[in-house]
Amino acid sequence: MRQKQSTLLQKQEQTQRLEQNESAIKLAEAALNLAKLNLSYTVILATTDGVTGRKNIHEGELVQPGQALVTLVDGTEKWVIANYKETQTTDMKRNQLVEVRVDAIPDVKFEGRIASISDATGASYSLIPQNNSAGNFVKVEQRIPVRIEFTENNRPEDLQRLRAGMNVECYVKQ
């Protein structure tokens, strides 16, 4: 009888330890899942493929949600924004061919095509708009932004030599 009671007590004790161990395992799994979640917050993903153009942070800095950490330069899509005088845009049309010469690459003439002509002048987007209230009515010729995209007729190795911000000259073909 005593042996049965002793065995029963041992069984109950082992069952209790097993339940405690299972609870400890569940607690450890929950802590692991929380650690994995917190680790996933440390991974920074870019919205697009590209190359880092400028880094806006330094090691050890505290960052905020939505803060721009780097400036990405998309190496796959290249275009030119040419600001033409309003009188120069009268005969321009979408898909019209353009010869693009890059100052840094004088040996190559690139071919482009007008992708779009802005509906507004560059001055209309200016941070400080022109104020004519004081009687300043000097007529200033405005500039119209024209987006020129490179055609597939350009050699890929030449296009790879292009960098954002390079100076170019664009000649629209009639």
Same-domain check for residues 168 and 82: yes
Q: Residue 64: give the domain boundaries.
A: 2-72
Environment class of residue 58 by beta-carbon count within 10 Å: exposed (0-12), middle (13-18) or buried (19+)? exposed
Mean pLDDT of the region 27-39: 95
Specify the number of domains making up the chain.
2
* Whole-number average pLDDT of the chain: 88
Token duo for residue 127: 């941070």
| pLDDT of 4 strictly over 90 | no
* pTM for the full predicted model: 0.64
| pLDDT of 134 strictly over 70 | no
Same-domain check for residues 87 and 144: yes
| pLDDT of 173 strictly over 70 | yes
Quick one: pLDDT band at residue 135, thresholds 50, 70, 90? low
What residue type is 75 in one-letter code? G
pLDDT at 133: 65
Same-domain check for residues 115 and 63: no
Domain boundary among 40, 72, 104: 72
Same-domain check for residues 83 and 167: yes
Same-domain check for residues 26 and 90: no
Mean pLDDT of the region 116-140: 74
- CA gyration radius for the chain? 33
Q: DSSP states of 94-162 as a string?
A: TT-EEEEEETTEEEEEEEEEEEEE-SS-GGGG-SS----TTS-------EEEEEEEE-TTS-HHHHTT-
Higher pLDDT, 149 or 59: 149
- Which backbone phi and psi does 16 adopt, to 5 degrees? -65, -45
